[in-house]
A = this chain, B = another copy of it.
Amino acid sequence: MIPAKADTRRQILDIAENLLLDLGYNGFSYKHISSALGIRNASIHYHFPQKSDLGVAIIQRARRRFWRWSHSEEMQKRNPLEKLDAFFILNKKFLHAGGQCCLGGVLETCFKTLPTDMQMETQAFISDMLGWLTELLRDGRERGAFAFPGDPQDQAIVIMSSLQGALQVVRATDPSLFEAAARQIRKTVKSEK
């Protein structure tokens, strides 16, 4: 049996990740976390001595999560278009979580204020995602599922940027516009056949 308060570390990560996606890295503090969790400020420093330790841990966990997602048995069975759709759904989850931004976008906009270790982890995270998406587009185009001009990496950046940007734009307009934008992006790469 697992005691309810067994893994405070995990709870801190969960709360901090949500705060990060909602408010940005410079928009939340240890106080937000401690009051949400019902513990004291100092207790969080026991698990994450510095705020950047917490930041790095959040990104590393997101990287592992993305790796498991993209390498899951379920995912391997899918064809390229289904994989792309799964990526769209992955992004749409941020919207349903009360209009959050995606991790990459949040970290990039405050990139210059981040300590070096967080900057490096951010770069690795983006590289992971961009690599996966590039490979998917390359493979999918070879197999006739996708049709787009130019370099798969350029197209990968456009898709990542679009979704990331759209999650942000709808915060200042209407959340319902995200879906329509996502469909529009999908059309630009899906082959007509």
A interface residues (Cβ-Cβ under 8 A, vs B) = 22-24, 26-27, 101, 104-113, 119, 122-123, 125-127, 130, 148-151, 153-155, 157-158, 160-166, 168-169, 171-173, 177, 180-181, 183-185, 187-188
Contact = CB atoms under 8 A, between A and B. Distances in A.
Q: How many copies of this protein are present in the complex? A: 2
Nearest to A182: B158
Q: What DSSP secondary structure best describes chain A's contact surface?
A: helix
B172 A104 contact: yes
A183 B164 contact: no
B169 A160 contact: yes
B104 A109 contact: no
21 contacts: A22-B112, A23-B110, A23-B113, A24-B110, A26-B110, A104-B168, A104-B169, A106-B109, A108-B172, A109-B109, A122-B172, A126-B172, A130-B169, A149-B187, A151-B180, A157-B184, A158-B181, A158-B185, A160-B165, A161-B162, A161-B163
